[in-house]
Amino acid sequence: MKDIEKAAGFLNLFADNVSAGMDVEPVTWIRENVVDQQSARSSHIDFTLSPFLLDPIDKFLNDGTVKHINLMAPTGSGKSTLFVGLLNYLIANDAGNTLVAFQNEQETSDFAETRLFPTFRDNKALKDLLPKKRHAARKTEILFPHMNLWMVSATKGQLQSKSCRYLIGDEMWAWEKGMVREFLARHHDRFNRKILMVSQGGDKGTDWVDEYGKGRIHHYHWQCPGCQGWNTYDWRDVIYSKEENIDWERFKESVKMVCPRCSHEIEDTVNNRRRLASGGKYVFSGNTSALPEIVSYNFNALACYWVSWADLAVEWILANQKKRKGDIEPLKKFIQKRLAQNIVDLGEKDDVLKIPLTAESMEGYTVEDERARFLTVDVQKGHFWHTVYAVDAGGSFHLLSEGRLEALEDIECKQSQFNVPDHCVALDCAFDTDAVRKICGLHHWFSMNGTVKEEYLHKIKSRGVKLIYAPLEQHIVEGVKCLHFNFSSQRAKDVLAARIKSGNWKVPHDVSAEYIKQMQAESKQESIDKRTGRVSLKWLASGNNSHMWDCSCMAVIFAMIHRVI
């Protein structure tokens, strides 16, 4: 029975498309028939001015394989115009019951009465289809002879009991949780259902963020006139003067877009912005496991030629100034409304790490099945902090020694006391780099440095492999050769925290209180990248010293380099 239904469905769809007068492309039909007096840019709806809307329109009207389209778009990018164009087209060419849901009553009646209905009256193609008498009490619905159009606010009562082929949702980020499920239940699994959800960026935990993530994600790209490469519209590629005392007029002239591939610079002019956007295209950017019937599109205000990049940069700078004074709202708005990005965490926030203590004592601690031991040192002005860890065959770290050291001789003492081989001693060289490297070179120790990089590319057997530490470097300081490793500070901390949380970090019960305090000095917190506005979780210090935490990170990296974990 199901297969027969499907076959019938396919035939109907085919028939629908034939009867839809497909000799004219929908976008052309809309331009020729729909007059939108309220539109900001042109009284006839011309989607070629908003090229980032063409693919979503095509998928909605012409592609039978796609059932659900998510469009995450900046505010003021012509979303209302999109609805006006689509609804006019559907009524004249591809009718079916349609439900359009808005975030509240006010938005619903504003759109219906002041925006949409006048376009129906002005559309000659709808002349014979409009009902002669409209029910006076219901201002946000039209019962046509061949279909119903309902416009409602996204509340439980309003969303229930309608059965629709087309579902269109507006500003989904503001919908109350659970309303998307009510909304989607309205299509009753029709084979020819079409769902369009449109929104700015939303917050973690909202239905919108979940729905957007279910689709095959496409970002709008521009083609570099310099190298012909395709780049996503990325806020990081907008450059501007970083002068302290800003002269806003001069500042605006400094704003440019730079190709991340070839550094070609594009001036911020209407023509340039328009040329880039109209030559742009969507590029599939990820989420291969998503169902092909759900497609998510994203573009941001940089692709809207009528918005100057300079104005965006000013907004960005002011929002960051507010943020520094503790008001994060303007920056959040910029990210969600201008960059059209969801604000989500990349992982769960960590509270203060618990350091479990064992029944062992520091004194005379022996480790079974020991594979290696490492002495790692954080260099401060005039003193040092150190840790010594042994790593066993199971990959657990055992703390053998920790604490502050006053002189270089103390490090040498610790090395011989714990019998640590030269190639298992490392000093952090962030402070007084050359002097530290010289010391390391003379002792046949390594120098190390944590960086902001996330990963490093290694060539292993002519293959590229990404690791969280860098390939070995050799430095010569005053004729002394020193071997050096950089590593990703954030990722090392992730590995360290994972070891501790999984019980692979053995700390004797009589360890110093200072060690525990320093190991708990950092926690993973939400952090906004000042340049990109992206929110991520980062290890940040609480204010206490974290020198032995840094030593422990070095020990973890060292164990990875020596392949014992």
Which of helix, strand or coil describes residue 347? coil
CA distances from 195 to 240, 288, 404 (A): 40, 20, 63
Give the HSE-up count for residue 202: Cα atoms under 13 Å, Cβ half-sphere. Answer: 24
d(CA 331, CA 478): 48
Which contacts of 441-446 are long-range, i.e. CB under 8 A and separated by 24 or more positions? 441/475, 441/477, 441/480, 441/481, 441/482, 441/483, 442/480, 443/412, 446/482, 446/483, 446/484, 446/485, 446/558
Nearer to Zn ion, 262 or 442 (CB): 262
The least CB distance from residue 261 to Zn ion, in Å, is 4
The least CB distance from residue 223 to Zn ion, in Å, is 9
The least CB distance from residue 234 to Zn ion, in Å, is 13
Nearer to Zn ion, 259 or 367 (CB): 259
Q: CB–CB of 281/248 below 8 Å? A: no
The least CB distance from residue 308 to Zn ion, in Å, is 22
Nearer to Zn ion, 223 or 308 (CB): 223
Binding residues for Zn ion (CB under 5 A):
224, 226-227, 229, 259, 261-262, 264
Q: CB–CB of 385/403 below 8 Å? A: yes
The least CB distance from residue 256 to Zn ion, in Å, is 13
Nearer to Zn ion, 222 or 446 (CB): 222
d(CA 158, CA 219): 33
Burial class (CB in 10 A: 0-12, 13-18, 19+), 436: buried
The least CB distance from residue 220 to Zn ion, in Å, is 17
What b/e string do you get for 45-60 counting C-beta neighbours within 10 Å, with b at 16 or more? Answer: bbbebbbbbbbbbebb
Nearer to Zn ion, 154 or 224 (CB): 224
Q: CB–CB of 196/164 below 8 Å? A: no
Nearer to Zn ion, 125 or 258 (CB): 258
The least CB distance from residue 311 to Zn ion, in Å, is 24
SS3 string of 11-38?
Answer: HHHHHHHHHCCCCCCHHHHHHHHCECCC
Nearer to Zn ion, 9 or 229 (CB): 229
Burial class (CB in 10 A: 0-12, 13-18, 19+), 258: middle
CA distances from 175 to 75, 119, 205, 411 (A): 16, 27, 12, 61
The least CB distance from residue 198 to Zn ion, in Å, is 31
Distance of CA 2 to the CA centre of its chain: 40
Q: CB–CB of 48/27 below 8 Å? A: yes
Nearer to Zn ion, 185 or 258 (CB): 258
The least CB distance from residue 152 to Zn ion, in Å, is 47
Nearer to Zn ion, 259 or 301 (CB): 259
The least CB distance from residue 265 to Zn ion, in Å, is 10
Query: Which residues does 565 contact at the CB level (< 8 Å), separation at least 6?
Result: 391, 395, 499, 556, 559
Nearer to Zn ion, 76 or 226 (CB): 226
